[in-house]
Amino acid sequence: MEYDTEEKIAALSVIELQYLKTWQRVEDFGSVADTVFEHYVKIPMRDGRESISRIYIPYPREDARSSPVIVLLHGSRFIRGDRHHQNPFAKILTRLFNATVICLSYRLNAAHPFPAAPHDVEDGLKWIAENADTLDVDLSAGFIIGGPSIGANLAAVTAQKTVDGTVVLKAPLTGVWLMAPLLLEEEIVPPEYKNFFFAREQNAKDPMLNKADFEHFKSKYLPDVRSADYSPFNSNSPHVGMPRTHLQVGGLDFLRDDGLVYERALRAHNVETRLDVYPGAPHGYHTFFGVKSAVKANVDAFKGLRWLLKSGVSDDEIVKAVFPEITSL
C-alpha cells in the first residue's frame, strides 16, 4: 500500500487493540542451539580508547570465507542498552544466514553527548572493513548495517556518510535495515514532504515514546539537528547512491513519519527500498509478547535482512527459527 496521502498516514495511528491488552515485553526469541561462537573484540577509536564489541560467528562455518557481515546497533534512546542488547536476534541471524554478526558498542549520553555515538559507529565500521581478512568474512557476500530506533538513526547516518565520501570504507555497504528510525525534525523536513510529517503531534501520546520522553532524550543527547551526524537529510548529497534499504514503521509511533518520509525520499532518488508498516503499533512494537503484529514485525525483520542479503532462506525456515511454536502467520 502506498502511504501517499495525509488521510492514509493519519489512519495508521488508530491503536491496535492487542497493544491495550498486553504490555509484556519479549525478552527472547525461540531457542537457539549451540551452533554460534561468541567472543569480544577491542576496536580502537579515534581518541585512543578501545571500544569492546560482541561478535557472533557461525560454527562450524559452511564456508569459512563466505560469511557476510551484519552490523547491529542497539536502541534505547542513547541513554541505556549495550552490545548484549540484541543477543537473541544476533544469534538467529548468525544461524539463518551463516553470517558474522557484530554488535557494535557506542558511548551513551549524558556522559558522552552528541556526536560521540555516531563517531564511535563510524570508527567501528571502518575497523570492520579494514579487518575483514582477520575476521574471516567476505564483505562482497553482504555488508549490512542496521538496528531499531536510535540504532536505526546511527545506521542511516553512517550509511549516508559512506556514500557521500565523508566516511571511506575499504568495501561498500550493501544494505541498511531500519526499524522505527529517528531521522527528522520539523525544521529539516524537505518542503515536498512537510504535509506528510505530522506524527509528532498526532502520536504525541504514544505509550512507548511520547513527546515529553523525546524532549527529555534530546536534552541529554544535545544534538545539532542540522548536522549530518544527526540525520542523513543533512548530507550535502542526501540519499544519492544509498544501498538497498529495508524500513519498518509503526502506525502509532511518535517517529512514524520519519520512516515513511525517508522511504519516499530514497525511492525518489532511485534507491531500492522495502517498507513494512504496522497500523496501530506504538514505538518499540516489536518487543510485545502475544501481539500478532509484533510477531509479524520480528519475522519481517528477518525477511528484510534476507532480502538485503539476497539469501535463499525460506519463509518457513525464518518462522521456525524466530518463533518455533508458530506454524503460520
Show the CA angle centred on residue 250, arms to residues 244 and 253, nearest 5°: 120
- Report which residue type is found at 178: L
DSSP 15-45: PPHHHHH--PBP---S---S-EEEEEEEEE-
> 137-175 burial by CB neighbour count: b if 16+ within 10 A, else e?
bbbebbbbbbbbbbbbbbbbbbbbbbbbeebebebebbb
Cα 195 to Cα 108, 199, 206, 306, distances in angstroms: 33, 11, 20, 33
Low-confidence ranges of the chain (pLDDT < 50): 20-30, 78
Alpha-carbon distance of 94 to 80, in angstroms, equals 25
pLDDT given for residue 80 in this prediction? 53
Question: How far is Cα 83 from Cα 161, in angstroms, rounded to an integer?
Answer: 23
Q: 192, exposed or middle or buried, with CB in 10 Å at 0-12, 13-18, 19+? A: exposed
pLDDT tens digits, one per residue of 84-125: 567 889 999 999 999 999 999 998 866 788 999 999 999 999
Q: What is the pLDDT of residues 124-147, one digit of tens each?
A: 999 999 999 999 999 999 999 999
Residues 6+ away with beta carbon under 8 Å from 89: 29, 72, 301
Domains and CATH numbers, the chain: 31-322 (3.40.50.1820)
The arrangement of strands across the sheet holding 100-103 comes to 36-44, 50-58, 100-103, 69-72, 143-148, 175-179, 244-250, 273-278
- DSSP code of residue 249: E
Radius of gyration of the chain (CA): 19
Q: Could you tell me how many residues make up the chain?
A: 329
What's the grid cell of residue 305?
535482512
Q: What angle do CA 157, 65, 321 make, to 5 degrees?
A: 70
pLDDT at 78: 46
Q: Do residues 288 and 19 lie in contact, with contact meaning Cβ atoms separated by under 8 Å?
A: yes
Q: How far is CA 105 from the centre of its chain?
A: 14
Question: For the chain, how far is it from start to end, CA to CA, in angstroms?
Answer: 19
Residue with cell 549451540: 34
**Which of helix, strand or coil describes residue 103?**
strand
Question: If you ran DSSP here, which 8-state letter would residue 239 be given?
Answer: T
> What is the rounded distance in angstroms from the CA atom of residue 121 to the CA atom of residue 105?
8
Type of residue numbered 285: Y
Nearest residue to 98 (alpha-carbon basis) of 136, 127, 58: 58
